[in-house]
A and B are shown apart, each in its own frame.
Chain A
Amino acid sequence: MAHLTPTPTLEPGQDKTMILNMGPQHPSTHGVLRLILEIDGETVVRMMPDIGFLHTGIEKTCEAKFYQQVVPLTDRIDYLCPMTNNLCYVLAVEKLLGLELPPKAQWLRVMMNELTRINSHLVWLGTHALDMGAMTVFLYCFREREDILRLFEAVSGQRMMTSYFRVGGVSLEPPLGFFDRVRKFANRFPSKVDEYEGLLTGNPIWMMRTKGVAKLSAEDAIAIGASGPTLRGSGVDFDLRRDMPYSGYDNFKFKVPVGKDGDVFARYMCRVAELRESISIVSQALDGMPSGPIKANAPKVVLPDREKMKTEMEALIYHFKIITEGFAVPEGEVYQAVESPRGEMGYYIVSDGSAKPYRVHMRSACLANMQALPKMCEGYLLADVVAAIGSIDIVLGEIDR
């Protein structure tokens, strides 16, 4: 952050080029991102992202909390996909503990995780189109997003910072009628995607703004550590949900959309196709939702039900101990990665055997994707920078942590 004057490494060239500061308060930077651009006329010659404006030291904070107290912090890293972060963290802790989850908890997690992906992609689609002047799509997308947020509220009590997944399961049984509401949404949603596509996909202005713009080759994408739709848009067929399944994703059938041109349009098409795949996963989860408990049978780790806590002595003791002392996690380390809407979200957790994590590190997909931004933009017009930023779908909260 710090250097608010243009950095010394990006000096203007011999009176041909100039330095332009984009951000940190630019509306199209989706957060607080500053880009230092060297431009020759309207062509970007060099670009340097400047990040860290939203750094809150979450990784340091985690080291002072009990394992279960870290869950609400993970929501706040990437505020557009809280459940994906919850999922990644709880999976990592469960792996450290060696916990087995009941099938219903896994299926619920997959279903909520895919709704979160749709939620995140809708915000991306709306703002990406808004950046390029297509106002209507934004309103349409937020209409459907509202439905999803209501579902989140019904299931967890919160619209955005859900903290619904807990170590060893999920926090609450979904309320009565919840699955019917999800079903209604899942039936309605594909026609809505057609609506968005009708506004954008064949639109000549949209195509001119996105086709052949901000290209990224497959080799560059891998070398730079890009992941998610940014990687798949460049033609690399890799999705952690399919290739290294977690949380029971191997029970679901879905396609992994892959582009080939590596431009903004290819990334757009990947994400729109993912919207359709995600809603199909939600439907599959609803169809095959197993019955049974939503929490693992591990009284020393998982909080007892309220009912039991008030009637059984043992449950009361466990409840008291977990709340006041946390639960000890055996020594070791794990790296757990999940496919977040933006790419490979990874949690690396080191335990020293106590009730607080020794180290929690979040591998941010956006941080790696952001390194592709200079490669995408150099040689293109200034107006294409806005398209490129939108196309990698950055969330600055996740980058800066």
Chain B
Amino acid sequence: MELAPAVTDLEQLKGHPAIARLLSWNPQSVEGVKFDRDEMTIYVERSAIREACALLRVDANCPFNYLSDVTCVDWYPAEPRFEVIYHLLSMPNKERVRLKVRLSGESPTLESITSVWPGANYFEREVFDLFGVRFSGHPYLRRILMPEDWKGHPLRKDYPVEGYR
């Protein structure tokens, strides 16, 4: 039951294809990295996420061509409050990478990646519906699981489990 400690040193991890690609494109786009339990996490600068996804999708060495998942975590009351999480998969190389964007609690907005993967459409709508994170450039950003006239965003940590009564 021994867990290896997480590696967060960029120097040690910059050999990873996704990190190397992002660093060679724009060193400012990588805010941090983490390698924990055999999973690589890259913290991406908020304004760079769409371009970062577009680059990684067609990378020559290790194309992360498949978007597995988009989701979000609420760290209320800490700031930055939200983390939007993208799980990418490279089908040819059989490798996964996780991209993370940190967002402040006040009007959390970031660019939609539906122009890179059309499949992000429903996932982003779900994050919008349940967390209230807005995606600019999304073709149809409306509630998907909750009723249209619902008040609040249920998966936020300040939303009670039993709902408002």
A residues within 8 Å of B by Cβ? 1-3, 9, 51-52, 55, 57, 59-61, 63-64, 95-100, 222-226, 236, 238, 243-244, 298, 330, 332-335, 337, 344, 346, 348, 350, 358-359, 361, 363, 367-368, 370-371, 400-401
Contacts and interface: CB of A to CB of B under 8 A. Distances in A.
Interface in B59-106: 65-69, 71, 73-74, 85, 87, 91, 94, 96, 98
A55 B91 contact: no
A59 B159 CA distance: 13
A244 B68 CA distance: 14
Contacts of B69: 335, 346, 348, 361, 363
A55 B154 CA distance: 12
Nearest to A57: B154
10 contacts: A9-B140, A60-B159, A61-B161, A224-B118, A225-B120, A334-B39, A346-B68, A346-B69, A348-B71, A370-B122
Contact of B146 (A1, A359, A367): A1
B18 to A, nearest CB: 15
A60 B118 contact: no
B132 to A, nearest CB: 14
| Secondary structure call for the B interface | loop
A384 to B, nearest CB: 22
Interface string B1-32: 11100100000000000000000000000000
Given A98-B1, A244-B94, A346-B87, A52 B155 contact: no
B98 A335 contact: yes
Contacts of A3: 148
A2 B147 CA distance: 4
A358 B85 CA distance: 15
A33 to B, nearest CB: 13
A222 B161 contact: no
B119 A332 contact: no
A359 B156 CA distance: 10
Most chain A C-beta atoms within 10 Å of own C-beta, residue among B85, B91, B98, B122: B122
A219 to B, nearest CB: 10
Contacts of B2: 98
Nearest to B1: A98
A368 B119 contact: yes
Contacts of A400: 145
Contacts of B165: none
A363 B118 contact: no
B37 A337 contact: no
A322 to B, nearest CB: 15
Contact of A222 (B65, B73, B145, B148): B65
Given A64-B161, A298-B1, A358 B73 contact: yes
Interface string B139-165: 010011111111000110001010000
